[in-house]
Structure 1
Amino acid sequence: MVKATNEPGNNSFQTIVRKVVREELKTELAVVKTQILETVEGKMDTTFRQYRDEVVTKLDDIVGQLQDIRDEITVGSGDHRRLLEVNERVEKLEDIHHQDGHTSS
């Protein structure tokens, strides 16, 4: 077994210290890396949830607006049909009126 001494000609002590320090640094870096990843993932998850909530809220608003437009179109098409029917009735009455010789001119 090689003795680790701190004598001027012996580098084995320095080599052992370097290896120990290197291993401790690797372990500490792994811990820090894990902590950073967990923090970033947590922030990303929070940001994603907020973004998703904003998007869903906006989509709900858009869907509501589209439903309102669809309802207005449905009501408008019914009104348009009734207007056409009234217009036809008026034209028929005008034709009858003109056939009876009741001209207003």
Structure 2
Amino acid sequence: MAPNGHLYFHPKGEAYCDDFSNAPLTTQAFFIHELTHVWQTQTFGRWYLILHRHPFCRYSYSLKPGAALTAYGIEQQAEIVAHAFLLRHGAKLSGVADKSAYDLLVRFKGATQN
């Protein structure tokens, strides 16, 4: 979890991992999801997550043509970035026939392998 722009994983918690780079792809995607919250804090300020997090935050989303990443909720943004990561590493996601929409949406520095 990244409540204030820093990642926290309790060493005895089930989400903890010594080295996410050697973890299964889905675990790496979870880490990427949490790193997106760090990016949100660094980009929009320390109060961004606190002010935009509410009990009804949705993780599910539908991509909207031409919409920027910031047009989605905070958890949706994190899911979109995690899904882009999975697609770029060869994973198949239900309902995704063309990954190019993710390539257009998630284009910030360091997001691609190129």
TM range (shorter): under 0.3
Structure with more helix by fraction:
1
- Which has the greater radius of gyration? 1
Structure with greater contact order relative to length (CA < 8 Å, sep ≥ 6): 2
